[in-house]
Amino acid sequence: MARRKAEIHRTDRIGWLRAAVLGANDGIVSTASLILGVATAQGTHRSILVAGVASLVAGAMSMAAGEYVSVHSQADTEKADLAIERTELKADAKGELEELKEIYVGRGLEPSLAAQVARQLMDHDALGAHARDELGITENLRARPLQAAWASAASFAFGSGLPLLVTAFTAGALLIPMVSVASLLFLAILGGLAARAGGAGMAIGALRVTFWGAMAMALTAGVGWLFGAAA
C-alpha cells in the first residue's frame, strides 16, 4: 500500500505567526519612530539610545501582557462553550446527533449519509465532533495564551533591537537618514517573509508593512521637529 504523502498546511502556523509578525512589526515601527522623534527634537545621542532601550523593554512587556490577556479571553470563551456542549451532550444526545446531522446536510451530504457520518463521529468522539463542526474549535486554531505572549515579547524585542542597533553605531547628521532607511528595509523584509509564510505575495506584503511604517515614522519625526523648533 502506497504511503500517503504528509501535507503541510499554513493554518498550523497561524497561532504563533500572527503574534510574531505583529510583535516584530510593532518593535521596528515604535522604536524607530521614537528614536526619530527624539532625534528631530535635538536630543543627545545618549538620550536617543535611552529612549530606544526604554521602548524595547516597555514594548516587549506590553505586547506580552496584551497578547496573554487577549488570547486568554479567547481560551476562556472556548472552554465555556465546550462546557456547555458537554452538558448538552449528556442531557440530549439524540438532539445533538440530529443537530450534527443537519450541519452535514447543510454542507452538501445526503440526509441518510449525514446521519451515518454524525453517528459514527459521535461514537468516536462526540465532544470533538461538535467542537470542530458546530463551534469551529480545532486543535490547530485553539487559543494558546502563553505561546502568543512569548512570541509577541520575543519578536517585539527582536524588531525593536534592529533600529536600536543602527542607532548605537550611528551619530550626528547620519542618524536620522540611516535609522529611517534601515527601518524601512527591515519592515520590507519582514512584510515579505510574513507574506510568504502565510502563502501570500511577498511584494504586496512588503509594500503594505513599509507604507504604514513610513507613515508612523514620518508623523513622529514631525512631532519631534515641532517640539525641537519650539524649544
Q: Which residues contact 56 (CB under 8 A, 6 or more apart)?
A: 27, 31, 156, 157, 160, 161, 164
CA 104 to CA 106: how far, in whole Å?
A: 5
Q: Which residues contact 107 (CB under 8 A, 6 or more apart)?
A: none
Closest CA to 30 of 50, 52, 45: 52
∠ Cα 7 8 14 (to 5°): 145
Handedness of CA 32, 34, 40, 45 (dihedral sign): negative
Q: How confident is the model at residue 226 (pLDDT cuts 50, 70, 90)?
A: confident
CA 119 to CA 91: how far, in whole Å?
A: 17
Q: How confident is the model at residue 16 (pLDDT cuts 50, 70, 90)?
A: low
Q: How confident is the model at residue 140 (pLDDT cuts 50, 70, 90)?
A: low
CA 147 to CA 23: how far, in whole Å?
A: 13
Is a pLDDT exceeding 80 seen at residue 107?
yes
Mean pLDDT of 24-44: 91
Q: What is the pLDDT of residue 1?
A: 43
Q: What is the pLDDT of residue 160?
A: 94
Q: What is the pLDDT of residue 229?
A: 59
Mean pLDDT of 22-46: 90
Mean pLDDT of 11-16: 51
Is a pLDDT exceeding 60 seen at residue 6?
no
The answer to whether the CB of 20 falls within 8 A of the CB of 204 is no
Q: How many percent of the chain have pLDDT more than 90?
A: 27
Mean pLDDT of 146-165: 88
Is a pLDDT exceeding 50 seen at residue 9?
no
The answer to whether the CB of 167 falls within 8 A of the CB of 35 is yes
The phi, psi pair for 228, rounded to 5°, reads -65, -40
Q: What is the pLDDT of residue 7?
A: 47
Is a pLDDT exceeding 60 seen at residue 187?
yes
Is a pLDDT exceeding 90 seen at residue 53?
yes
Where does 48-105 show beta strands of DSSP type E?
none
The answer to whether the CB of 14 falls within 8 A of the CB of 141 is yes
Handedness of CA 64, 69, 71, 75 (dihedral sign): positive
Is a pLDDT exceeding 70 seen at residue 19?
no
The answer to whether the CB of 11 falls within 8 A of the CB of 140 is yes
Average pLDDT over the chain reads 82
CA 154 to CA 132: how far, in whole Å?
A: 31
The phi, psi pair for 144, rounded to 5°, reads -130, 90
